[in-house]
Amino acid sequence: MKEAFKKESKEWLKALVIGGVIFILIRAFFFSNYEVEGQSMMPTLQNGNKLVVNKISYKIHDFEHFDIIVFHANEKEDFVKRIIGLPGDRMVYKDDQLYINGKKYKENFLKQYRSEVAAGRLTGDFTLKEVTGKGKVPEDMLFVLGDNRLGSWDSRHYGFIPINHVVGKVNLRYWPLNELQFSF
Report d(CA 93, CA 91) in Å as an integer: 7
Architecture of domain 33-175: Ribbon (2.10)
Catalytic residues, by residue number, are 40, 81
The set of residues, in sequence order, having a beta carbon less than 8 Å from that of 161 and lying 6+ positions away, is: 71, 73, 141, 142, 143, 144, 155
Q: How confident is the model at residue 178 (pLDDT cuts 50, 70, 90)?
A: confident
Q: Provide the mean pLDDT of the chain.
A: 82
Predicted confidence (pLDDT) per residue in 129-151, tens digit: 888 888 899 999 999 999 988 88
Report d(CA 137, CA 128) in Å as an integer: 8
